[in-house]
Each structure stands twice: as C-alpha cells, then as structure tokens.
Amino acid sequence: MNREQTNRADVPSPDTALRAVIFDLDGVLVDSFGVMREAFEIAYKEVVGAGEPPFAEYSQHLGRYFPDIMKIMNLPLEMEEPFVRESYRLAHRVRMFDGVPEMLDALHRRGLRFAVATGKSGPRARSLLDTLGVLPLFDHVIGSDEVAHSKPAPDIVLRALELLEVDAADAVMIGDAVSDLASARAAGVTAIAALWGESDPAPLLEAEPHAALKSPEELLTWCLDAAR
C-alpha cells in the first residue's frame, strides 16, 4: 500500500459492523504535546542536570509507557516522578482537539462503546479526562501500568476488548504512534492512524494502517459508515 492509497478517509470499513472504538489519548483525543515537552524538560534538568533535554528523541517513542522509554533512551528511571508530578500540575493546559467533543458525542449517540488504551498510567489518564469533563463518556480507561506488557504488545488492546465485551473484528483502534498501530494489529483489531496531532505522518503511513485520517471529522464519518 502506497502513501496515496493509505492517506484516504474512504478506505473500506470492516466487514462486520463496528461496535466499539478504542482510542489512544495523547495526540488523538487531547493536545498535550506542549505540556509533555515542558514536563520532560523539567524532569530531565532535575534528575540529569546540565545539557539539552533530548525531547526530540523522546517524542519518537510516544505511545509507549514512560519507564519503557527511559530504558530505551538509557535515561534514569528517576525521571518518572518529576515528569508525572509536572504533568499533573500542568494538566489544566491540556485541551481536546477541535472536533473531538462533537465526534465523541455523535458516536456515543450512535451507541458505540468507548475505551481509552494509553501509554499513560491509568490514574493519570482518568484524572485528565475527568478534568476535561469527558470521563463519563468512556466505558473503560486503561493505562500501561494496568497490563503486563505495554504497547507495542497487544495486551492493552486485548484488555480493552475483554472489558468492552466485543470481538476484535467488531472494534477499531485509533492511534498517533507506530506502537499504537502495532498493538492494534497484534490484537487483531483494525488500526487507524490519527494524523491531526504533532506526530510525523511518514512513519505512520509506512506502518500501513487500515486507514489514515486527517481530522476527527473524518474519523466520525469512517466510524459511522463502519457501524451501519
């Protein structure tokens, strides 16, 4: 599948009717990139000290659990405490992407069930969604600390399917990172790339998702078609 074919909103929907949507959180539902950068830089300077915080490299691993990224980057695991502290402190600055509230409302009225499967910890993800006033829309919010293996392993998507009580063929996973798409595919779930955030689209398109959508409005249309 080439880039032109993948980067379309009219990619055929699954053969079975869509019943549930599994969302990644950061970069899909919420625009948290600026807060993430500030929290990372504070944590780096507090724990590591001098030098330029390697946020560009960190951003290449988004979608994974923070401790896993620290291991990949050979950074101190002690960075997690100040990173989480600052993320909570700055949470009031996080906003939902334009079109996301309307998309969620329309899909909710259509009767679809929702889960969040995020690289964040479960408590932090639920706290953020509660702050934004949308936590009740989601049937389940699952963090990477609540499964045995985080993305790109399939555990978090499989757990979402279990809690939602749907088959893999009846669900879709929306993510903005290659690890999201890999997790969905490994669980047998249709994988859709969200291209409206800060992520570089090239690696997402190279991962050959089932669809790559440019806006929450395109996602709404795709899901409504798939739910028929």
Report, as residue numbers or ranges, the catalytic residues.
24, 26
**Residue spans of beta strands (DSSP E) within the chain:** 20-23, 30-31, 95-96, 113-118, 140-143, 171-175, 190-194, 211-213
Sheet arrangement for strand 140-143: 140-143, 113-118, 20-23, 171-175, 190-194, 211-213
Cis peptide before 152 (omega within 30 of 0): yes
Please name the amino acid found at residue 170.
D
Judge whether 200 and 33 are in contact, CB under 8 Å: no
Burial of residue 118 (CB within 10 Å: 0-12, 13-18, 19+) is buried
